[in-house]
Chain A
Amino acid sequence: MREYILEVRNISKRRGGKVILDNVSFSVRRGEVFVILGPPGSGKTTLLKIIAGLEAQDLGDIVINGEVVNTFPPYMRNVAMVFETLALYTNMTVFENIASPLIAIKKDREYIEKRVREIASLLRIEQILDRRADKLSGGERQRVAIARALAKEADIYLLDEPFLNLDAKIRYALRTEFKKLKSIVGKTIILSTSDPHDALALGDRVLLVNNGRVIQEGVPVNIYKAPKSISIARYLTGNMVNEIFVARDSKGEITSNIGRDIYIDPRVLDTIVKFGRSSLILTNYIDSCIIDRHIVECDGVKIRGSFLGYEFRGSEYLVYARKEDFVFKSLSRKLASDLNIGDEVDVCLTRDGMLFFDGETGDFLG
């Protein structure tokens, strides 16, 4: 058995003069959950449709199970797809929707009955089989769309933004269901999403795209710990990162965008010098940042700022502090008592957990 069930080679596509996909290449292993992550409009849907054969690429090849399938029509490519819009047949019942791919290949009545019920119970929608597809809740419709794709018995499942517009709670539940389903069903799943949480939580491997180009590829934890550029770090966390810009002049003096009121631990200074760039961005995720009235020991970078506000999340607090135009965020279990907006606080970005990026290019250094 081949290791890679799908190979995407140098796919490019233009539409009306605009570049939709630019030289996209990647491979997907059999049985893995492969997530394509990118902001809306980055070409994810087009990429999936090209893999499915619903749209044609300008350049490049799609290889499924070792065969070049560029000329194959959709139903011969051994893929099933769940569309972002779900595309349920609203004039038919749930049963008829799920049965559709089986009807198309002319399976007999008995087989269809059995298979549809099997899949429906897997997704826990047996009780709505007789309902019309336009009379379902959002979560139910999602599951029917997935059921229809499962009924097709393809080797590759393409899901286009399957969690879009879902309530946070349902999204969470569906994600976990998904991961469990994957091991039961044993199929290869390619998912597109614009929510970094989906990618980090679900993906065995993640492909980051933007403006039709591949930006980074890898295992979630590794992308998180070593994002190729600072914009990736910002995107993955929804801008929940703390950044400090430092510059080194010709004399070797270090200045920062925060001003002079900053303490930098000697070991951090050494690292800055080691990288030898003229400017750097020091970045910490919110769990490696501490905000408190007074922080005595800080082994990274310490700043004095003012309290901006907080969020209470039930089990933890997200604390915001500001210095000049810059906002710092810290995740912690406790909140210093009686803090008012404008009170002076210390912000400490710990050394362990600090990422260094080039100040000009934004490239990852270490």
Chain B
Amino acid sequence: MILLVSVKLVNIVKKFGKVEALKGVSLHVLDGEFFSILGPSGCGKTTLLRIIAGLEKPTEGRVYFNEHDVTDLPAEARDVAMVFQFYALYPTSVFNNIALPLFSKKYSKSEVVKRVTEAARLVGLEKLLNVHVDKLSVVDKQRVALARAIAREPQIYLLDEPLTILDPVSRVIMRSELKRIQRELKQTVIYVTHDQIEALTLADRIAVMNFGVVEQIGSPHEVYNLPASTYVGWFLGEPGMNFVEVVVSKNGSILLGDNVIFQNQHIIKELVNRGLEKVLLGFRAENIVLSRDIVLRDLSREVVIDGVLRVVEFFGTHYVLDIESGGSEFKVKLNPSDFNSLGLRENDKVRAVISFDKVLFFHPDSGKRIPVGEKV
């Protein structure tokens, strides 16, 4: 029986000299979960992974595997398997590569063969066991690295951007494989990446990091549609979430510049009750409907912003437009047919309409999301 392991990090701080790479990170990975740590390069995610692996010691804080404190334990003793971006395979057969790490563990020969064949089957290499690794494609080499980890039957799998070297199609295939293998093995996987698409596609839950701090932990849907802070909203999505600073007026309206853009009494009363005079409106570029007409609209159900088109960027499958209004800017994502039917050019006047259920509110100083209305 293979033990399912949960990983708990309590207030991990890591300093390199004076630089604080991690500023107090706490998280709890459930046993059997596919957990992703997502963040830009340099945010500390690899350091965090290395601390979980035992390759680094935290300056402060504790690491627990299944409630056992393993903080002082070195990597060899923790029984974790790491798969890196740049694996190093030994110049020998696939079988030997997978088997080598097992020899130091004193398994019987038959046990080794059993583990290797099982691991190879899981990654789809069972027919290539006797092939020399130099003859393999990049994808298959990555499979060998994976199998090597699997054969060890570790308590936890730690993956550090293992797919970045693959071409897009192979990446998709390997991603599906990874997901399938994880489901079969039912093991805990912690996957570090800077590629949000990978995290959104693979993970059960994602920890979004911002230079030493975890800003939100949630399911892909949660972090994308209900970001806990402006950072998370900005980081996820291409383009990131738009944030526009607006004035909350006590007479029940929200203003951008000099214009009223929203008038839902209910929601505005909640904001006023919190003592907010200004607030950040957050909405995604793909949730905006553009039009050129200036017909009256229902400001209690929609945010309506009239502005000027400043920049048009063509991306083949879509357009991204930069609109300016009341001193602020935001982006709109349109598919080519919609863009063409609008017939817009730079410096044209345009109207942006966002349905209020696609609008979120953020605190203007802290950047934290303000739960308003039914959205908590």
Contact = CB atoms under 8 A, between A and B. Distances in A.
Interface string A293-326: 0000000000000001111111110001000000
A167 B236 contact: no
Contact of A169 (B40, B201, B318, B322): B40
Interface stretch (A37-45, A73-81, A233-241): A233-241
Nearest to B284: A315
B237 A176 contact: no
Interface stretch (A47-55, A152-160, A195-203): A195-203
A275 B47 CA distance: 59
Given A313-B197, A313-B200, A314-B236, A308 B173 contact: yes
Interface in B134-167: 167
B317 interface: yes
Interface in B187-210: 194, 196-197, 200-201
A200 B316 contact: yes
Contacts of A202: 313
Contacts of A200: 313-316
Most A CB atoms within 10 A — which of B40, B176, B239? B176
Nearest to B335: A287
Contacts of A327: 169
B224 interface: yes
A187 interface: no
A320 B201 CA distance: 13
Contacts of A331: 317
B176 A341 contact: yes
Interface residues of B, number: 40
B321 to A, nearest CB: 10
A364 interface: no
Contacts of A103: none
Given A167-B194, A314-B236, A309 B172 contact: yes
B316 A224 contact: yes
Most B CB atoms within 10 A — which of A200, A238, A239, A315? A315
A311 B238 contact: no
A143 interface: no
B197 A312 contact: yes
Contacts, number: 92
Most A CB atoms within 10 A — which of B194, B240, B286, B336? B336
Contact of B200 (A287, A309, A314, A320): A314
A236 B315 CA distance: 10
A119 B310 CA distance: 22
Given A200-B316, A285-B316, A169 B235 contact: yes
B310 A315 contact: no
Nearest to A168: B238
Most B CB atoms within 10 A — which of A221, A239, A311? A311
Contacts of B194: 167
Contacts of B172: 308-311, 320
A169 B39 CA distance: 11
A196 to B, nearest CB: 8
Given A179-B311, A314-B224, A309 B175 contact: yes
Contacts of A245: none
Contacts of A238: 168
Interface in A4-50: none
Most A CB atoms within 10 A — which of B167, B169, B318? B169
Interface string A216-242: 000011001000000000001111100
Interface of B: 40-41, 167-169, 172-173, 175-176, 180, 194, 196-197, 200-201, 220, 224, 234-240, 284, 286, 310-311, 313-318, 320, 322, 331, 333, 335-336
Given A179-B313, A200-B314, A315-B286, 12 more contacts: A169-B240, A176-B311, A176-B331, A179-B322, A197-B315, A220-B314, A224-B316, A309-B176, A311-B197, A314-B220, A315-B224, A316-B286
